[in-house]
Amino acid sequence: MQLLIALHLLFFITQTLAAVFRQDAFAVARKGSAIRLPCLQEGTHEYMYWYRQFAGGGLAVLYLSRYEGMDADNESQDPRFSAVRPNRQNFPLNITGLQLTDTAVYYCVDLLQVQQSPLDLVLHPGSPMKVTCSVQGSSNPNTFWYRWTPTEGIHCVFYSVGTGQVEPAKVDEFSASRPNNSHFVLESAGVGTGLAVWYCAGSTHGNKSKAGRCTINSPL
């Protein structure tokens, strides 16, 4: 019997941006044997995940590792599965005693946690607005505010490569600030009447002069 295990690319964009994936490979192994699925990130994200998806099923978390050097949180409830985080970049998954029922797509993901607060705001035109975005999982992520409007679609409006640095200073009635490395704040002294949806995003990239900009207009 042979089992097919696939590693695929995943790009997360739930509450916002940010996961990249590494390997894109198939692994085939004999029933009863063991397999080691490598996972290597090029960035420096603190959070790494292993997900499993059975044919026709949803994604389920198998393991989460929050930091390098820490063993993973274990959701698998299966002693045949194990994962360790020997360093920031690597998060291999081992499966022993392979069964046919292990046949699935296994995704490895490194991820920034992005949260907006508040999630929803209902305001009258002219009211002040303040939304704080928190980006966890990297010591100094690049942060972005994207805006969607019915007429223009989604565009990157503000970006920041670190504390106190924001470009541009002001767009329409909005401005952004970066009080510290993990937070990016969007503000307006009085919002207009137009409909807009704002998205906060985070990314990590070694070369800030290259990637810490509004170069990607649509995160999708």
Ligand X SMILES: *[C@@H]1O[C@H](CO)[C@@H](O)[C@H](O)[C@H]1NC(C)=O
Which residues of this protein are in contact with ligand X, per CB under 6 A?
A: 34, 36, 74, 76-77, 79, 82, 84, 94, 132, 179-180, 182-183, 207, 209-210
Nearest distance from residue 92's CB to ligand X, in Å?
Answer: 6
Q: Between 47 and 81, whose beta carbon lies closer to ligand X?
A: 81
Please give, one letter per residue, the 3-state secondary structure of 96-125. CCCCHHHCEEEEEEEECEEEEECCCCCCCC
Nearest distance from residue 65's CB to ligand X, in Å?
Answer: 11
Measured distance between the N- and C-terminal CA atoms of the chain, rounded to whole angstroms: 39
Nearest distance from residue 34's CB to ligand X, in Å?
Answer: 6
Q: Between 56 and 79, whose beta carbon lies closer to ligand X?
A: 79
Nearest distance from residue 143's CB to ligand X, in Å?
Answer: 12
Q: Between 47 and 63, whose beta carbon lies closer to ligand X?
A: 63
**Cα–Cα distance between 72 and 168 in angstroms, integer?**
40
DSSP per-residue codes, 60-95: EEEEEE-STTSPPEE----TTEEE--SSSSB--EEE
**Cα–Cα distance between 132 and 104 in angstroms, integer?**
38
CA quadruple 19, 61, 138, 26: dihedral sign: negative
Nearest distance from residue 37's CB to ligand X, in Å?
Answer: 10
Q: Between 76 and 203, whose beta carbon lies closer to ligand X?
A: 76
Q: Between 53 and 82, whose beta carbon lies closer to ligand X?
A: 82
Locate 146 and state its tokens: 């994207």
